[in-house]
Structure 1
Amino acid sequence: MKTALTRFSLLLTQSPFANQSFASAIQFIAAALTEGFAIEQVFLYEDAVFAASDAIDLPSDEPDLAAMLAKLCQQQQIDLLYCVTAAEKRGIATNVESYFTAAGLAEFAMRITNTKLVQF
């Protein structure tokens, strides 16, 4: 008897510059894909929306976890969404062309149907 493929949705809420959450999410995605699971989408909420800003200039000796996440999602064709309201509240322009896609919290809530939600 074949079991259904487990599908995950990820919710990131912490700034990519403040702690380990983005690194942990990247490791989780890589491990899940290696084990044959599917990642449906990654949603950036609260301070995690800073990852979608093109105005951040990191020192050269710091890893750009936001760019690493975007690259992984692009390579694996995983939707990478950010909350447009949270971004606007934090002064992040929402008309920036990038791999990050502006979305609403309600859209994310509808998209997580039939997935397991993992929060970082």
Structure 2
Amino acid sequence: MARFVLSLHTPPSDHDTTQRIVKFANACLAQGHTIDAIFLYQQGIYHASTHFDLSSDELQISALWQQLADQKLNLMLCVTAAQKRGLDIKNTGVFKVAGLAEFAMLASDADKWVQFK
């Protein structure tokens, strides 16, 4: 089985890409693969924002991330991208703050790195 690292570069308003990464992660896990990390980068860091106020008929993004966290996935947030965009890095929900070096090490050890843009 393969070891994957995934990265998400788009904001929460890009529902298609958000749903694609979640479905891909679930499909990988269902087939017995391992996901070493999902890394939020660039505009993707906004997925870790706790300031979502979504109506019930919108995609419940935080619930999707919580489901992945419940599966013990390593959900990471780029600290530099978050700080540049004014995200509160002390309040990131299910995401762990990490640097690009940590992500690069995980990606280099994985069999596949898949970017969602």
The TM-score with structure 1 as length reference comes to 0.88
Q: Deviations over 1:49-74 (max 9, x none)?
A: 00111012122210122431x22322
* Counterpart for residue 10 of structure 1: 6
Q: Which amino acid aligns with 1:105?
A: L
* Counterpart for residue 84 of structure 1: 79
d(CA) in 1 for partners of 2:16, 2:61: 9
Is residue 30 from structure 1 mapped to residue 39 from structure 2 by the alignment?
no
The TM-score with structure 2 as length reference comes to 0.90
Paired positions, count:
115
Q: Deviations over 1:58-94 (max 9, x none)?
A: 22210122431x2232222110001111111111100
d(CA) in 2 for partners of 1:48, 1:66: 13
Q: Deviations over 1:15-65 (max 9, x none)?
A: 121241110001101111111111111000001100111012122210122
How far residue 6 of structure 1 moved from its aligned partner, in angstroms, is: 0.4
Q: Where do 5+ consecutive residues of structure 2 fail to align?
A: none
Larger radius of gyration: 1
* Counterpart for residue 60 of structure 2: 64
* Counterpart for residue 44 of structure 2: 48
d(CA) in 1 for partners of 2:24, 2:46: 20
* Counterpart for residue 69 of structure 2: 74
Among all aligned residue pairs of Structure 1 and Structure 2, give the percentage whose two residues are the same amino acid.
38
d(CA) in 2 for partners of 1:26, 1:18: 13
d(CA) in 2 for partners of 1:59, 1:87: 25
* Counterpart for residue 103 of structure 1: 98
Contact map agreement 1:22 1:66 (CA 8 A) in 2: no
Structure 1 stretches of 4+ moved >4 Å: none
